Amino acid sequence: MLYTSLLKPLLFKMDAEKAHHLVIDGLASGSRFPGITEILNTMYGVPESPELRMEVLGLRFPHPVGLAAGLDKNGKAPDGFSSIGLGFAEVGTVTPKGQAGNELPRLFRLPPDEALINRMGFNNEGAEAMAASLAQRKIHSIPIAVNIGKNKTTPNELAHEDYQACIRILYDYGDFFVVNISSPNTQGLRDLQHGDELRKLLGAVKEEVDRQAAARQAKPKHVLVKIAPDMSDDQLEHTVSTIMESGIAGIIATNTTLSREGLTHAHAGEMGGLSGKPLRERSTEVIRAVYRQTGGQLPIIGSGGIFTAQDAYDKIRAGATLVEVYTALIYKGPELLKELTSGLKECLRKDGYRHIAEAVGADHR
């Protein structure tokens, strides 16, 4: 209740991006003081439950609810995020070179719609800066994924070099990697989701991961691809086919949407990607389609509009192995994680399942 009653009213009076930086910088700075992460864990930590514990991608997840990319763009606060009850967290999107992103203002709240619109444009300090931040990580209780992208000035025909550079620089610091080709805020990026460009990109990513693993005499780390919710059925089918053929380990469905259907707030006309509750149904539809096409053979991380345990459970039943939150965390605070995990256990009990894995793809059976 501390967040919703005290912090949220103060943060929502501030410019959205300034509030964002205040939270991330505060969490990063606070995590360096002795005892702060323990206090955070006492306040917000989620006790492990055997029925929610997952083994996915060769990694152990204390529960299936993680943080989507975009909140901690530079990997500044992994210890803080590891202490507030998350099952895993994505950092980034990071690009090889630091870049300022798009012009301000570029982040907008839509409270009546429980949504956000952003046109950030991959603003970040670059891969070397993220590596330096993640090298200071002390808490390794949850997997950390590194979400990678291309610089704005890099043409699509050379995009694969940017993704390879990110993997090369950050290989030791991510537990797995996410290829972001679906943000609507970098011109031409979504073109990489299709056809030969996608095949070339994923082949280059796989080569770099294999090269880094061989140098360390270790198994290659897993790579997932984050896809957009705005593709047609045919486009989605072809994209998923290419991902499957590439040997990529999994899919995140979905990124933000360009749709503005059903919005009521004045900010609805702002350009950028929409996240939050209005994305809930479409992202679940995409998860269902991906699971059907892949026969449940590729792990899916479901992202988009999760505000309640039922929202998360619907995505799991549609085929998601793990799920991610972002916008709901802004609106509801870290208390959300206890609410979601306890609610998921109640959903399992109602359906007669003993473990969350039994519910994955249940709608298809």
pLDDT tens digits, one per residue of 12-67: 999 999 999 999 999 999 999 999 999 999 999 999 999 999 999 999 999 999 99
Judged by DSSP in three states, 302 sits in strand
Greatest Cα pair distance in the chain? 55
The active-site residue out of 82, 83, 182, 183 is: 183
For residue 116, the model assigns a pLDDT of: 98
On the question of pLDDT at 199 being above 80, the answer is yes
Q: Cα(182)–Cα(170) distance, rounded to whole angstroms?
A: 21
User: DSSP label at 220?
Assistant: P
pLDDT of residue 131: 98
- 179: domain range? 2-364
* pTM as predicted: 0.96
Q: Which residues of 337-348 are buried (b: 16+ CB within 10 A; e: fewer)?
A: bbbbbebbbebb
Distance, in Å, from the CA atom of 305 to the CA atom of 253, rounded to the nearest integer, reads 11
Q: What is the mean pLDDT of residues 89-94?
A: 97
Which amino acid, one-letter code, is at 131?
Answer: A
Chain segment 144-186, per-residue pLDDT in tens:
999 999 999 999 999 999 999 999 999 999 999 999 998 887 8
Instruction: Give the pLDDT confidence score for residue 191 in this predicted structure.
Output: 81
Structure tokens at 325: 């939150």
Tens of pLDDT, residue by residue over 236-279, are: 999 999 999 999 999 999 999 999 999 999 999 999 999 999 99
Residues 6+ apart with CB under 8 A from 189: 149, 150, 180, 181, 182, 183
Q: What is the pLDDT of residue 195?
A: 77
Burial 3-28 (b: 16+ CB within 10 A, else e): beeeebeebeeeebbebbeebbeebb
Domain count, the chain: 1
What's the pLDDT score for residue 4?
85
Q: Which two tokens stand for residue 144?
A: 């950390």
Q: Name residue 228's amino acid.
A: A
Whether 177 contacts 209, CB under 8 Å:
yes
pLDDT of residue 11: 96
Q: pLDDT tens, 101-117? A: 999 999 999 999 999 99
CATH number, domain of 78, equals 3.20.20.70
83 noted as active-site residue: no
Is residue 215 within 8 A of residue 174, CB to CB? The reply is no
Pick the more confident residue, 187 or 338: 338
* pLDDT score at 188: 83
pLDDT at site 190: 85
The 10s digit of each residue's pLDDT in 339-350 is 999 999 999 999
